[in-house]
Amino acid sequence: MSQSYHATYQKWQKDPLGFWAEAAEAIDWYKKWDTLLDASEAPIYRWFNGAEVNSCYNALDRHVGNGRSQQLALIYDSPVTNTIQKFTYAELLDQVARFAGVLQQHGAAKGDRVVIYLPMVPEAVIAMLACARIGAIHSVVFGGFAAKELATRIDDAKPKLIVSASCGIEVNRVIPYKPLLDEAIDLATHKPQTCVILQRPQAPASLVEGRDVDWQAAMQQAKPADCVPVAATDPLYILYTSGTTGMPKGVVRDNGGHLVALHWSMKYVYGVQPGDVYWAASDVGWVVGHSYIVYAPLFYGCTTILYEGKPVGTPDPGAFWRVISEHKVNVLFTAPTAFRAIKRDDPDASYLEPYDLSHFRTLFLAGERCDPATLQWAEEKLKVPVIDHWWQTETGWPICANLLGLEQLPIKPGSATVPVPGYDVRILDVYEEEADAGEIGSIVIKLPLPPGCLPTLWHNDEGYKQTYLSNFPGYYSTADAGFKDEDGYLWIMSRTDDIINVAGHRLSTGAMEEVLAAHPDVAECAVIGVADALKGEIPLGTVVLKAGVNRPHDAIIKELVQMVRERIGPVASFKIAAVVERLPKTRSGKVLRGTMKKIADGEAYRVPATIDNPAILAEIAADLAELGYPHQKNE
């Protein structure tokens, strides 16, 4: 009989160190830990201090040695190139060991950083695991990110090497990566020694002599490299996420805690078994891709799917059903945006009919709050449990979920269900006291965070403390707001900072405001996230022009959209802006973005007592109405 959720959570509460020591027995260690939880530098905590391990060994070598060598490890499915490629554990190990040899040949060693700027191709997985194999720290940057954004990450991580490709492919559009990479290196102060370039036939790139190396040529000459033991507390990777200042934050993930937490999550959160086919329909540039395309499924001995395509348009709204049917997927994890797109294009799910989904067990949704209508539509059409769960780039694995490996609790559409063992989740009100059931407050997690969560930011302990630990001493601040109901279910309602969630991608409105403010005609500006039926949220810009500017507003807005596209990237989905006479502000000069968002979303709002001029709210409401956004009178 399976363990119940409540019994397991109580077991963790009573003996958290014993709980994680038991979970760690599933991992192959070179050396066990001296201290399970090192609190000597609290509030910075380190798990499995003194232990030595290798993440690549646990993902590949041990499975090859334990009878899984001929099991499929990775299936690459690319409708945009009409390609399917399969790797057994033995074949993937061979490729990874060879590329690890390429990295070593070009000077990369334990502790060095390697930036990976690749599309959704097998080489992205191979490069990540190869870094882990030799103890190098990878930093994956979402393929196609603008050159300026890539340059800031190069300067922060200071990589010895960059691994990239000649191009990426978006549906029917080829996006050359190499010009973006070259521009980023020109902009960056730090210059990498070597760039390894994967040439794709859709757009071959010219190589810079003395710096650039062809992937295939390098692999042909490479000698396979062995695993290098690293400290459990050594970084496995750096993943940059948007900061409220517009500057990216380098989230650090360590080797030991990450291994233990992700391995545990596959069994207990996702309810899978070794040998199952697990598909996270995300991108390796995001945390979901790191955790649940590359690492967790391979740690656990599953087959993982790498999909270079879209939920619709590659070629139709049946794309996901084809992949599930053809590759016998047991569990799918994706963002609600994907299912909103499928529902929009095929509301009756007619494209589902030709496919056999009899082996498909569960759909998990995360990356943004799933609206109940989308969840219920997916349940009705797929006839499997649809699980909305919640976590963050910083945590690396779920904070709240319906833990199918223990027991399935009743589903409440709109709720992420209950805290996962390891997370002591609280709701604090404005007085920093625990809120009553149903009362919205700041969602925080009592320290220490469990294994797998960020121990700090890259070379920025003080920034880590200031960003995450200073608002509520003794707690990690999630920057999300929500409530717990009378059953202890958690409901995530909104962000408490300027990060918006566009189709599962966390983007900083502050960074977009910096771009708009750089336009020569703009005096001041504000960007808010407004509700969008497909993407959850999209950015909407409001700009006040400098005195004397009499150019057509449409021309200025077109320029602003292009600037954001160039400096942040198409992923920002910045397409809507309005020229306004003035922005609503408090007497101290703070722009009332929250109130503007409520107006745009058609929510009731109160006139803040600190507002400088209440009449401006009516003007903003009229401006937003011209853009088609609903508004209603204040209470």
Contacts of 628 (CB under 8 A, 6+ apart): none
Amino acid at residue number 382: L
pLDDT score at 388: 95
pLDDT band at 594 (very low <50, low <70, confident <90, very high): confident
pLDDT score at 506: 67
Q: Count how many residues are written for the chain.
A: 635
Q: pLDDT tens across 195-250, in order?
A: 999 999 999 999 999 999 999 999 999 999 999 999 999 999 999 986 544 567 89
* Mean pLDDT of all residues in 465-474: 94
Structure tokens at 421: 């063992």
Phi–psi pair at 378, nearest 5 degrees: -65, -40
Q: pLDDT tens across 412-442, in order?
A: 998 999 999 999 999 998 778 899 998 888 9
Q: pLDDT tens across 249-280, in order?
A: 899 999 999 999 999 999 999 999 999 999 99
Q: Which DSSP string corresponds to 406-469?
A: T-PPPP-TT---EEPTT--EEEE-TTSSBPPTT--EEEEEESSPPTTS-SSBTT-HHHHIIIII
Question: At residue 632, does pLDDT exceed 50?
Answer: no
Q: pLDDT tens across 13-29, in order?
A: 999 999 999 999 999 99
Cα(50)–Cα(47) distance, rounded to whole angstroms?
A: 9
Q: pLDDT tens across 78-92, in order?
A: 999 999 999 999 999
pLDDT score at 445: 98
Which H/E stretch holds residue 615? helix 615-626
pLDDT score at 481: 86
Domains annotated for the chain, with CATH where assigned, are 5-309+389-469 (3.40.50.12780), 502-626 (3.30.300.30)
pLDDT score at 242: 66
Cis peptide before 448 (omega within 30 of 0): yes
pTM of the model: 0.86
Q: pLDDT tens across 369-413, in order?
A: 787 888 999 999 999 999 999 999 999 999 999 999 999 999 999
What percentage of residues in the chain have a pLDDT greater than 90?
73
Phi–psi pair at 26, nearest 5 degrees: -80, -5
* Mean pLDDT of all residues in 112-126: 98
pLDDT score at 193: 95
